[in-house]
Amino acid sequence: MQFYHPLKAILFVAILPNIALIILAIWFDLNRPYVNLDYLFVSLLTLTRLRWLGIAFFILLFAIDLFVLAGQIFLFIRPDNLLYLIKFLPETSSAYQFGIIGLVILLVLLTYVQLSIPKVAKPLHTLVIFNIALILYAMNVYGSGDPQERIWRVQSSPLVDSQLLFLLDNRSDGFLQSFISDGPALSNIKVSGASADWFNTEKADSKKNLMLIASESWGVPLNHNIQQALLAPLTNLNRKIKHIDSGQFNFSGPTLAAELRELCQLDAFHYNLKDVTNGFENCLPNKLKQSGYKTYAMHGATGVMYDRIYWYPRAGFESSTFFETQVWPRRCFSFPGACDIDMIETASKALSSSDPTFLYWLTLNSHSVYDTRDIHIDLFDCENFNVDPTTQSCRNLKLHAQFFYSLAKSIEAGNFAGVEVVIVGDHTPIITSPEEKAAYFVDQKVPWIKFSVEHGNNNALVQNDHNESSDNIPAAEDAVPSNISAKQSAR
């Protein structure tokens, strides 16, 4: 039967890859179109004398499909970033390892099957397949579309779409394009932040353990009672912390600008810091390292984001922890990476050394658009403060309430003893609705809080095995009051 061969091509080139990758997406809690039309178009080439071109395109489209899926877990900025991340494959989760092995086997088998499909260049067959694909894609283009979609924030699984066009659309985004900008990167203008006091020699010589936390999207609410409620778990630790001070200052810029503000008192013209080697000499980690400090940085996203694997060492960090550098009990979603409440134990261990230590921690999970899957402990009642519970602002506040509570529980348990702490917002919350943002937050202002933890023994460290099931709740959640909903992530 002549029509058998076109059906065989559609089955092995278009249907089976879609089935395999949608199962993979569901397994890792990712979003992907149920039907990636790219395969349907390339199946036409398999039936013609351009078979080798069809096979080459199939392998390329399969790789692009995986690339878009992987971007929801590990954000790639440049092609060489993939090579950096591959070296961590032996230490990564077994789920990722088995997934990659299975996909390689599938790709080899499907490629082999394509070679066995006879060449059938019937115009009617190819025309029918082409028009079906075209109609489905036209339905998708005119029936859906979300300007909030990003390669790391695919918020839905449409029935049909093109992963190739999705990649091209998002890779042309100005944000990602800024990572290939040329010209001078660092400005000579001094920009002071909440950590300014730590730059003086006196402080560096004090040999106190220091922890600087840049809190992602922590803003200044118009309702002052909201900020008091968010910080209450910390400020109520009367017997554990002292010398509490807080305030706010004007700032406008992205996260990288905030990091350079706090760590180096510098500003940046663009984000392409990979090859920038000069200008970091007077950064805080370098100054503290010269005074005998161990310097340590941690961030829940991949180290390639904002070129941190390159410029963190130049700024003076001797070691860094990123999402890819160890196995975490679960994954968070607002921006792909580890969960902040799971990193608290890592932070406490870093500061338990007998040597004076400076720890810098950039938090992650309160990144826009504030995914509800990252709210594991629902502590903040938005309606009590006249905040619409359906808004991004409400989710932002819930995520910060969760973080401050979890940090306070760790301090209460005896961790971070003798550590001087500065917590500062990186920038105002990113809220897509200007009206909503104006209703709840002060624009272009970031808050800060400083305090010292009383001296004692860090003997309350919970030795969780991060290789255990992701159903384990971190130590910071152990003492959740009975009237608080403590939700566990499914993954």
Query: Helical H runs in 218-354?
Result: 224-235, 255-264, 284-290, 308-315, 340-350
- Mean pLDDT, all residues of the chain: 82
Instruction: Give the pLDDT score at 410.
Output: 97
Instruction: Give the pLDDT score at 484.
Output: 34
3-class secondary structure for 322-384? CHHHCCCCCCECCCCECCHHHHHHHHHHHCCCCCCEEEEEECCCCCCCCCHHHCCEECCCHHH
Grade residue 155 by pLDDT with cuts at 50, 70 and 90: low
State which of 98-107, 117-126, 195-204, 224-233 shows the largest mean pLDDT: 224-233
Grade residue 236 by pLDDT with cuts at 50, 70 and 90: very high
CA 154/CA 336 separation, integer angstroms: 11
Query: Residues of 304-313 as b/e, b for ≥16 C-beta within 10 angstroms?
Result: bbbbbbbbbb
Residue 374 in contact with residue 340, Cβ under 8 Å? no
Grade residue 113 by pLDDT with cuts at 50, 70 and 90: confident
Residue 346 in contact with residue 357, Cβ under 8 Å? no
User: What is the residue whose two structure tokens read 């969780």?
Assistant: 464
Residue 227 has pLDDT above 80, yes or no: yes
Q: What integer is the mean pLDDT of 466-486?
A: 33
Residue 471 has pLDDT above 70, yes or no: no
The domains found in the chain, sorted by start residue, are 4-178 (no CATH), 182-486 (3.40.720.10)
Instruction: Give the pLDDT score at 175.
Output: 57
Grade residue 462 by pLDDT with cuts at 50, 70 and 90: very low
Grade residue 388 by pLDDT with cuts at 50, 70 and 90: very high
Grade residue 130 by pLDDT with cuts at 50, 70 and 90: low
Quick one: angle between helices 163-171 and 51-70, nearest 10?
60
Q: What integer is the mean pLDDT of 411-430?
A: 96
Q: What integer is the mean pLDDT of 46-64?
A: 82
Instruction: Give the pLDDT score at 201.
Output: 66
Residue 3 has pLDDT above 60, yes or no: no
Q: What integer is the mean pLDDT of 437-443?
A: 97
Q: Tell which wins on pLDDT, 119 or 95.
A: 95
pTM of the model: 0.80
Residue 286 has pLDDT above 90, yes or no: yes
Instruction: Give the pLDDT score at 481.
Output: 33
Residue 473 has pLDDT above 50, yes or no: no
CB atoms within 10 A of CB 143: 10
- 125: CB partners within 8 A, 6+ apart: 2, 3, 6, 47
Instruction: Give the pLDDT score at 288.
Output: 94
Grade residue 143 by pLDDT with cuts at 50, 70 and 90: low
Instruction: Give the pLDDT score at 460.
Output: 45
Instruction: Give the pLDDT score at 491.
Output: 32
Residue 215 in contact with residue 299, Cβ under 8 Å? no
Q: What integer is the mean pLDDT of 460-468?
A: 39
Instruction: Give the pLDDT score at 428.
Output: 96
State which of 32-41, 81-90, 268-277, 349-358 shows the largest mean pLDDT: 349-358
Q: Tell which wins on pLDDT, 424 or 56.
A: 424
Q: What integer is the mean pLDDT of 130-150?
A: 62
Instruction: Give the pLDDT score at 431.
Output: 93
CB atoms within 10 A of CB 19: 12
